[in-house]
């Protein structure tokens, strides 16, 4: 008596489909153009944020402009630069810090229904990552003499690329999408996804009984 396959052998050990048990690590599906924030939405959000920060800019200009010729001294320029940075960034965090940390939004983006997410998994970036790589890095590059203005122009022109990502988005690995876009599962869900599938339980057969049944069928 020969057995044609392992399925016909009651004494064979359970077989596991190794290929099916492997966990595939696929990249996130590419977003459709409808999920991306439009250029007009991003422009509207930027204008709203500009209006919000405008009082600080006017206040700093009103305070420092009366210095007149003293602005030519390097020491005064450094003091003005550092003071402006500290005041403007403090105000920016006061107004937008909570929204950025929780939802990846400034006030302007919140009003326009768009948000900043990581390109790799569409989740809201950590606040420190946003501030350092997306805002501060671009702000410092714009201060470089002679080429800072060109960098700022290139940063804006990048919005006309198909993925609508500005230069600061490339630096931070972010993308701006509609608020309805949801990120990938968190760490807990990822760990659960890596667990191998469990095999369904099958009734344990009595070897002697199985042999007797097989002999009666052969007879």
Is the per-residue pLDDT at 197 higher than 50? no
How long is the chain? 219
> pLDDT value at position 32?
67
DSSP string for 165-188: --HHHHHHTEEEEETT--PPP-HH
CA distance 28 to 210: 50
**Cα-based angle 93, 136, 150 (whole degrees, multiple of 5):** 130
Calculate mean pLDDT across residues 184-204: 41
Calculate mean pLDDT across residues 49-62: 90
**DSSP three-state, residue 114:** strand
> pLDDT value at position 189?
36
Q: How confident is the model at residue 133 (pLDDT cuts 50, 70, 90)?
A: very high
> pLDDT value at position 63?
81
Record the tokens describing residue 204, joined without a space. Answer: 């344990």
For 82-115, what is each residue's pLDDT tens digit? 888 899 999 999 999 999 999 999 999 999 999 9
Q: How confident is the model at residue 128 (pLDDT cuts 50, 70, 90)?
A: very high
Q: How confident is the model at residue 60 (pLDDT cuts 50, 70, 90)?
A: confident
CA distance 88 to 142: 15
> pLDDT value at position 35?
87
The secondary element (H helix, E strand) that includes residue 117 is strand 114-118
Calculate mean pLDDT across residues 26-44: 78
For 160-191, what is each residue's pLDDT tens digit? 998 899 999 999 999 999 988 776 554 433 33
End-to-end CA distance of the chain: 11
Q: How many CB atoms lie within 10 A of CB 174?
A: 25
């Amino acid at each position: 008596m020969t057995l044609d396959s392992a399925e016909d052998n009651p004494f064979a050990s359970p077989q596991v489909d190794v290929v099916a048990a492997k966990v595939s690590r696929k990249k996130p599906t590419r977003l459709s153009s409808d999920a991306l924030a439009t250029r007009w939405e991003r422009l509207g959000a930027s204008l709203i944020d500009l209006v919000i920060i405008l009082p600080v800019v006017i206040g700093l200009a009103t305070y420092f402009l009366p210095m007149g010729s003293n602005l030519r001294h390097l020491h005064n320029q450094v003091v003005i630069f550092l003071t402006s940075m500290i005041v403007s960034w403090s105000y920016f965090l006061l107004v937008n810090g909570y929204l950025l940390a929780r939802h990846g939004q400034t006030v302007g983006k919140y009003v326009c229904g768009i948000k900043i997410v990581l390109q790799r998994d569409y989740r809201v970036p950590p606040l420190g990552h946003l501030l350092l790589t997306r805002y501060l890095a671009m702000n410092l590059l714009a201060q470089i003499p002679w080429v800072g203005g060109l960098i700022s122009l290139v940063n804006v022109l990048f919005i006309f690329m198909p993925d609508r990502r500005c230069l600061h988005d490339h630096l931070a690995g972010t993308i701006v999408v509609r608020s309805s876009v949801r990120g990938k599962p968190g760490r807990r869900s990822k760990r659960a996804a890596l667990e191998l599938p469990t095999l369904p339980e099958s009734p344990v057969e009595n070897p002697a009984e199985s042999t007797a049944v097989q002999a009666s069928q052969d007879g």
